[in-house]
Amino acid sequence: MSVPVTDMDTLHRVQDFLYREAELLDEQRFSAWAELFADPCVYWIPVDPAVTEVWQGMSHVNDDRQLLLARTHRLDNPRVMSPEPLPRTVHAIANVRIAEVAADGTLTVKSTAVVHEYRPRGYGDDDKRAFAGRVTHRLVPHGDGFRIAFKRVDLVDSEGSYNAILVPI
Amino acid sequence: MSAIAYPQERPGLSDRYSPSWFRDLVRGDHVHRDVYTDPEIFRREMRLLFGRTWILVGHESQLPDPKSWFTARVGDQTIIVAREPETGRPVAMYNRCAHRGATVCVGRQGQSHRLVCPYHGWAFDHGGALAAVPYEKGYPEALDRSAYSLRRVARLEGYRGFLFANLSADGPGLMDFLGHMSTCIDDLVDRSPTGEVELVGPPLSHHYRANWKMSFENLNDTLHPGFAHAASVVAARAVESVVGEGNLVPSVGMMKANGKPIGFFEELPMVTTPWGHSYIGGHMGASYTGSTQSAYFQQLAAFHGEEKAKRVLAQDRHLMLLYPSATWHARYQTVRLVLPIAVDRTEVVGFVFRLKGAPEETFRNALEYCNGANSAFSPVISDDLEIYERCQVGNLQGDAEWVPMYRGIHQRAEDPETGRRSPATSEEYVRNQFAAWARLMGEPA
Ligand code: FES
Ligand SMILES: [Fe+2]
């Protein structure tokens, strides 16, 4: 393993990949978003920022490939009840940096995500919300691009309580 | 059977908020919708329901040593639970400094030599006694320190490690209040091959903008999953068509189980007991029950004997409701506290327990359920939260004031051992909750 210093080309490709991931979520193309993940994969939002393994404690999200497919299939189903109408989001991705390059080419990428969400329901007081978290991706090379083998989001308020969240962060 | 009529009159118009008016809100087969929306009713619930019943506040494993403390909510009150220094016994105190009232302990839990108020430094021991006052000479010598302890909560009692607080010194004892429901606590603890369970890590919480009673009325409702959770049932079936039948991971299998036909749920039992408690038979099937060859079963058999070990693992109760404070799932070591924040706001705090000494798969199995049952991100729970909020908003519309709760009223039977039995499709558990509600709320305040 080595820490890359000036591989700007790889960094640009990684940034472009993360921006496209965010765009798919903001365009509500959830199944297309799930296709960015490798098989097997982990999409994880832990409660306790100190844990290092998915089965150490409770998680807001602890999706393997099957659960990820079920989650996105549901959101793409026009019969789905609770996301109706679906919240609209803007995922702003920043501070992208390649933290590690493994011998097999797997990249560990750190970034931050700030998500603004609007839920057009016509009543209530948390129809506009913001989420923020530090994100770790493990990206495996795939063709010209990447697949997500692992994604962990550490929300700044991971130990807080949330109302229903539909659109992945 | 005589026809069930829609109530025509408003309850006790003459003296709103009198004890008899509260009793009139519940008709046996209908309940008045104000119980969900009126802030004055909510305030009275804090005093008469949450102030006079046994409220689950936590577990002894949260107090591993003499310096430990944790905070909890009982209705609208915040309490501190710690071990009294003289006896080591858990006691509960209101979280209010005896000087000017500042909150003493902030956060979910901690470890400290004393409970020290951040304002002027008054320090209390873990039993609440005032142990030190900085700038002592500034206070009259005659100051009677014992009068300035943290005020004790009237009662704190444990059952198999689970701690319950009661703000009132009067009323039934813990075991009378639990009644048959104590076997639901046994159901969880007996799954441990050492007889001990341990609360793990920070809880997983969600909230919703609706009344606290909505969760209690939803969790034993077996009619709604096929409708409210239809999209995740369809999604689980779609995944199964890709991975092949029988190959679903447990979390997706649980989603799929919500789509079982109504006739299946009708065959499951619903048990209701005095004070508003209830549970229904399990429907998810998939569970870490352990084959008789497994290391877990061998451990459990060594602890309980083989026959009891088999009985413990075969027990399948789904969502046991301990009215009005907690719901739990023994098979998955998951306990949820339902915290009423305001008439239209509720927080649900989910805890998971490790079966001490059991193989790691049992904990993983618990987490698999616990995440799905408590996360606001859960494809299933997010439907329920939406439903609660729609009911809250809907109950403020129009002039239809009564909510029917007569489903299954003709299908119930008395059961000498457990209380009353109904099919799991019944609304008997809602009627049972409101019977307890009316009894408590109809008391003089
Ligand atoms: S308010 Fe606590 S020491 Fe003054
Ligand atoms: Fe539900």
> B209 and B319: one domain?
yes
Task: Label residue B13 by pLDDT band (50, 70, 90).
Answer: low
B167: in domain: no
Domain shared by B153 and B202, yes or no: no
**Residues A38, A147: contact at Cβ < 8 Å?**
yes
pLDDT at B239 over 60: yes
Token pair of A125 as six digits: 């007081």
Residue to probe by mutation, ligand 1, list B117, B130, B145, most atoms within 8 Å of CB: B117
* Domain CATH code at residue B357: 3.90.380.10
- Rounded Cα distance between A92 and A23, Å, is 9
pLDDT in tens, B100-143: 999 999 999 999 999 999 999 999 999 999 999 999 889 888 78
Same domain assignment for residues B272 and B397: yes
- Among the partner-chain residues A58, A70, A125, the one whose CB lies closest to the CB of B371 is A58
For ligand 1, say whether the CB of B224 is within 6 Å of any of its atoms. Answer: no
Residue A156 has pLDDT above 80, yes or no: yes
| Closest to B203 in 3D by CA, of B48, B62, B78 | B62
Q: Hey, is B176 helix, strand or coil? A: helix
Q: Are residues B400 and B343 in the same domain?
A: yes
The pLDDT assigned to B288 comes to 52
If asked whether residues B314 and B385 sit together in one domain, one would say yes
Report whether pLDDT(B275) > 80. yes
When mean pLDDT is compared across A115-124, A151-160, B176-185, the lowest value belongs to A115-124
Beta strands in B134-263 (DSSP E): 155-159, 162-166, 197-199, 204-208
Confidence at residue B286, expressed as pLDDT on a 0 to 100 scale: 44
CATH number at residue B124: 2.102.10.10
Is the pLDDT at A25 greater than 90? The verdict is yes
Instruction: State whether B112 and B216 are in the same domain.
Output: no
Within-domain flag for B38: no
State both tokens at B330. 């023994």
Residue B152 has pLDDT above 90, yes or no: yes
B223 touches ligand 1 (CB under 6 Å): no
* Same domain for B394 and B270: yes
CB contact under 8 A, A55 and B200: no
In a domain, B18, yes or no: no
Q: Give B321's strand partners.
A: B278, B327
Domain membership flag for residue B41: no
Across A70-84, B204-218, B413-427, least confident range = A70-84
- What are phi and psi for residue A97, nearest 5 degrees? -150, 140
CB < 8 Å to B249, chain A: 64, 66-67
Instruction: Give the domain A8-155 fold.
Output: Nuclear Transport Factor 2; Chain: A, (3.10.450)
Asked if B203 and B151 sit in the same domain, the reply is no
Give the pLDDT band (50/70/90) at residue A102: very high
Provide φ and ψ at B414, rounded to 5°: -70, 145
If asked whether residues B151 and B227 sit together in one domain, one would say no
Atom of ligand 1 nearest to the CA of B120: 3
Asked if the ipTM is above 0.85, the reply is yes
pTM for the whole thing? Answer: 0.95
Q: Which residues of B touch A78 (CB under 8 A)?
A: none
Residue B274 lies in domain: 178-441
Domain boundaries of chain A, sorted by first residue: 8-155
- Nearest atom, ligand 1, residue B117 CA: 2
The answer to whether residue B25 sits within a structural domain is: no
% of chain A surpassing 70 pLDDT? 90
Q: Which of B130, B159, B188 is the last residue of a domain?
A: B159
Per-chain mean pLDDT for chain B = 93
Q: What band does B266 get if pLDDT is binned at 50, 70 and 90?
A: very high
Question: Into how many domains does chain B fold?
Answer: 2
Residue B1 has pLDDT above 60, yes or no: no
Q: Which of B93, B94, B97 is the best mutation target for the ligand 1 pocket, counting ligand atoms within 8 Å of the beta carbon and taking the most? A: B97
pLDDT score at B12: 63
- Give domain status of residue B311, yes or no: yes
The percent of residues in chain A predicted with pLDDT above 90, rounded, is: 82
B196 and B337 housed in the same domain? yes
Structural domain contains residue B324:
yes
Q: How far is CA B346 from CA A147, B213, B216, B435, in A?
A: 40, 9, 12, 22
How confident is the model at residue B8, as a pLDDT? 77
Is residue B391 in some structural domain? Answer: yes
Residue A68 φ then ψ, to 5°:
-65, -45
Question: What is the rounded average pLDDT of the residues B384-391?
Answer: 94
User: Does one domain contain both B199 and B124?
Assistant: no
Same structural domain, B141 and B264: no
Q: Whose CA is nearest to atom 4 of ligand 1?
A: B120
**Higher-pLDDT residue of B156, A77:** B156
Contact indicator for A66, B239 with CB cutoff of 8 Å? yes
